[in-house]
Amino acid sequence: MIRETSVRLRHVEEARIDADAEQVVAFTCPGDRLDPASARMLERLGVAPGELEASGLLPARVHQVATGPLLGAGRPRRVVLVGLDPEAGAVAAVRDAATIAGRHAEGDGPIAVALPTLAARRPGATEALVEGLILGRHRFDRYRSGVAPRPSALDLLVAADVAEDALIAEARRGAIVADAANWARDLATTAPADKTPEVLAEELRAVVAAAGGSVRIWSERELEAAGFRGVLAVASGSPARPAMVEIELRGDASRDAHVALAGKGVTFDSGGLDLKAVESMYTMKHDMGGAAAVAAAVYAAGRLALPVNLHVALPLVENMPSGTALRPGDVIEHWNGMTSEVVSPDAEGRLILADAISYLTTRAPRSLLAVSTLTGTTAVGADLWGVFSDAHDLAGDLVEAGRRAGEPGWALPLWRPYRSYLDSAVADLRNTGERLTYSVAGIVASLFLAEFVPPSLPWAHIDIAATVARTRLTANAAWPAGATGSPARALVRWLEATGAAA
């Protein structure tokens, strides 16, 4: 379940420093010097900047961290120094440095921190500070024996020249968005046996309903009666029953216009009868990352009361090999009556999303997004998700939302001539081409989904297979190996902008 962080803010001048400030987070600037705001805060806490230099803690260069004790009564017991990256932009620099600081913070006690000088009076800077600290402090300890859960409170002693009401509002928003992303991270990291479709559906129901969403769980029997045969076909090899979570969130009761969201929810993907190589299968517990990110964004939209109406479909299945599994050569009739020939049972995400997308379009949304770990062949590396769309304004808005959220993406072509890869001799289309090269597989997968979207509807597919989780090779200073929650925070930014523009 989601862990909602309560944030308590107190000004450094008002706090009883000897009793309250257990740690201090300070930032450094290029040139091996303390950020002026951090220097002033340290002086208030009885720590002379020269003392840090003498201790060897300085310098802490860009995205590097140094930690050490601060001895003596009336002062914090520990300092965490992180180097700012001013080239990233003020708000992004604060978020990244705070995330790094959160990873190195110890214990559960209050943290003293000053908003860096480069971000003073910048809208969103306090939000980024709180968001980064909560993202950085996140730990997944569900399966560790003898480890107490991380606290669900963040007690900050702040030194910032901002109005109190603005600071509190930004801190609340940062906490909600970070909590949502951390929930998506937890869902993706949970062992497959503990998040079968029915189990995951119940958790999504509980969390989203608490945020104001109306939730319906479609059972296997209901999916069969309604004709969601793509979902049923992918699930046919597993003893775990499929489900679909349908969500409606009304943030603007004065309007009927809504946004449709679909998220791929394969709780474990073995590849089916096209069994994956063993080195690829371990990470397939993340294959429901699209559904997790969408659900997290819906939760945040509800908690933030964003003025946008949402209609969401999250098909949940487990893709396993067995005597009843989907076979190469099988033909599926999808929810809207279109048929697809199965070339590979391992190209299964598009089969369940086709049902969900065609169902969502019947309510005439003003735009539609599909989020999935579909191919991992976006060719833009582990830092960027790819968005495939020929609705260029929509793609641009999504990329801008990702930039602002610190979850960047890149617009990629939905190149229609590649549709020929999906030509089938026996059905309306096939679920993938034969012997596709790495460079075109992501486009072809998105073109499959496009077949289920009316031509007049602006839509986009966000492929997060490369960004849903970091490996040890792609981990960096801000993000460790493991699930990222991407692109939940980007989706929140996009929904916020969409609601404001309505």
Active site residues: 276, 350
Reported as type and span, the H/E element at residue 113 is strand 111-114
Q: Which residue reads 């029997």 in tokens?
A: 221
d(CA 281, CA 268): 9
Do 314 and 356 meet the contact criterion of CB atoms below 8 Å apart? Answer: yes
Copy the structure tokens of residue 410: 């890149």
Q: Which residue reads 């109306």 in tokens?
A: 214
The HSE-up count of residue 488 (CA atoms within 13 Å, CB side) is 34
Sign for the CA dihedral angle at 283, 284, 287, 288 comes to negative
DSSP conformation letters of 118-130: GGTT-TTHHHHHH
Cis upstream peptide for 454 (omega within 30°): no
Strands 259-263 and 367-372: parallel
d(CA 343, CA 357): 21
Residues in the chain: 502
d(CA 462, CA 149): 33
d(CA 12, CA 486): 34
First to last CA, the chain: 32
E-state strands within 331-401: 331-333, 339-341, 367-372, 385-388
> What are the backbone dihedrals phi and psi of residue 22, each rounded to the nearest 5 degrees, phi first?
-80, -35
d(CA 185, CA 164): 31
Nearest by Cα to 84 from 45, 135, 26? 26
Nearest by Cα to 313 from 367, 249, 245? 245
